Amino acid sequence: MAAKKAEQVLVDQWRGILAVHARTLCELDRELHPHGLGASDFEVLDVLAEGAAPDGGGYRVQEIADRVHLSQSALSRLIGRLEKDGLVTRGMCPEDRRGVQVCLTPKGRDLRDEVLPVQRAVLARMLAGDAAECG
């Protein structure tokens, strides 16, 4: 009986984490939409901005996928949209010509910088326990 109760506590914790994640993503999408971005779009721009080398270097697609928790195919489609909008560029990785490197453009950096306070405010609000139902 105690094992069953402990198992249920784990399941309830897991479902609580999933609920907070879903509500937070929904709120991020709602708040970022007027800026032409979704939560995943912003996350890619943010990762690129935080890790950009002074020489404008970027990340390989696989490195971004590991940080934003998207499949490589979903990330490739997302990067394609960001590239079409002039927010990132794709090119051959200088160290490994088989790899694709993604770099933030000045337009992408400006948009990320503009939207950063919105994203951080949503995270602060949603992860502080004040998460309201999305709708």
User: Based on the structure, what is the number of domains in the chain?
Assistant: 1
Task: Report pLDDT for 133.
Answer: 46
* 135 assigned to some structural domain: no
* 35 assigned to some structural domain: yes
Long-range contacts, 90-93 (Cβ 8 Å, 24+): 93/60
* 48 assigned to some structural domain: yes
The CATH number linked to 71 is 1.10.10.10
* pLDDT at 21 exceeding the cut of 50: yes
* 11 assigned to some structural domain: yes
> Which structural domain range is residue 38 located in?
2-130
Task: Report pLDDT for 39.
Answer: 96
**pLDDT (tens digit per residue) in 49-87:** 987 655 556 888 888 999 999 988 899 999 999 999 999
